[in-house]
Amino acid sequence: MFNTATLGVVLALVFIYLIYSLLATLLGEIVSNLCDLRGRYLRKAIYTMLNDDKTNEAFGKAFYKHPLIKYLVPLNTIFHKLPSYIRPASFAKVVVDLLRGETVALGSDVKPLISQSLKNNHTAWGNASIGGDTLKYLNSIWFDSQGDIIKFEAELSAWFNEMMQRTIGWYKRRTQVILFFVGLVIAFAFNVDTITIVKRLQQDPKLRDQVIAQANAFVKAHPKLDIASASPADSTAALGKRLQQQASNLTSGEDVVKLNDVLAMGYTKDTDWCPFSNPLMYAGWVLTALALSLGAPFWFDMLNKIMQLRGAVAPDKAQANNAKAGAAAVPERNRVG
């Protein structure tokens, strides 16, 4: 069972990770948007659905040339060249449009047009070839819908939603890699050495209490963690300004500085940079980077859980101490046995 001192060390360390992971998460978000990471992974998912293999990307390219998708990208943008979000209904409509054709008379029956496109293995709009496995699945859901366009679009939307669940996993794994390298830069820049920090927290109760006091103040000031993700409509300048404001609101612009001062982190002229004579410093940076790669929401949730556990342990210990004190105060003659 953890004692209060051990819980205090863990709580202080988790708070330190939270503050620096806030910075890492925001920087990682900026890097992801500059690299258009959301748009790239969305395109990867749609290409996986619509293109049978990498040698035949005609269907996927035709999808992105459709006006509904093409104009989701902000005009005159340098970094965002791909839409970062597409609604399932929009995906279904574009696929139906490509299958039925670009010029359809008002009131005409589009069922034969879609059937003909699937039979010819080519889209009527753009004349893009439809690959084997993609064609098989489209034929399957077309058969299941019995030629009902509304049901067919619903099946396409469900297919898109299932694929997006996988895409979220791909994206999270990539962002964790980005967060690791961002965390490594932060650990180096601020000399956030996990091994050294743990030693100081264990050896100095006053230091530990100072960090815990900061953690309590932070949780009271921010009962909910709010880091908004980028919107497809955000320009790079607007995104940077919004993320900077969020960082300021969440950390009051001072928490990182306070932690550096309290923990006496940073560099001096006596800092030993040689990895062979001081390998623990480099190992401590790597541990910090691995921790920060988990992201700010993870550490905020962990901080709340540990604070609740510590709050439950403290009253129990106080009650036990009171019971011992009460027993010691009873006169010897009044004790039984």
pLDDT digits (tens, 9 = 90+) for 27-76: 888 888 888 888 899 999 999 999 876 657 889 999 999 999 988 887 66
User: Does 225 fall in a domain?
Assistant: yes
Residues 109 and 241 in one domain: no
Our count of domains for the chain comes to 2
User: Does 325 fall in a domain?
Assistant: no
User: Does 329 fall in a domain?
Assistant: no
User: Does 73 fall in a domain?
Assistant: yes
Residues 68 and 145 in one domain: yes
User: Does 192 fall in a domain?
Assistant: yes
| Residue 46 confidence (pLDDT) | 93
Q: What is the pTM of this model?
A: 0.70
Q: What percent of the chain has pLDDT above 70?
A: 74
Residues 145 and 269 in one domain: no
| Residue 251 confidence (pLDDT) | 47
User: Does 303 fall in a domain?
Assistant: yes
| Residue 246 confidence (pLDDT) | 53
Cβ atoms 19, 219 nearer than 8 A: no
Between CA 7 and CA 332 the distance in angstroms is 37
Residues 127 and 251 in one domain: no
User: Does 328 fall in a domain?
Assistant: no
Cβ atoms 124, 116 nearer than 8 A: yes
Is the pLDDT confidence value at 235 over 70?
no
**More confidently predicted of 89 and 216:** 89
**More confidently predicted of 117 and 3:** 117
Taking residues 272-291, what's their average pLDDT?
82
Residues 235 and 134 in one domain: no
Residues 300 and 204 in one domain: yes
Cα→Cα distances 335→130, 161, 262, Å? 91, 72, 50
Q: What are phi and psi of 294, to 5 degrees?
A: -75, -20
Q: What are phi and psi of 293, to 5 degrees?
A: -65, -15
Confidence of residue 3 (pLDDT cuts 50, 70, 90): low
Residues 26 and 62 in one domain: no
Local structure of 223: helix, strand or coil: coil
Residues 141 and 288 in one domain: no
Q: How far is CA 216 from the centre of its chain?
A: 25
Residues 57 and 139 in one domain: yes
User: What's the domain range around 304?
Assistant: 4-36+175-319
Cβ atoms 11, 307 nearer than 8 A: yes
The residue among 102, 132, 167 that closes a domain is 167
Confidence of residue 94 (pLDDT cuts 50, 70, 90): very high
User: Does 91 fall in a domain?
Assistant: yes
Q: Which residue, 12, 18, 26, 30, is CA-closest to 256? A: 18
Between CA 130 and CA 182 the distance in angstroms is 41
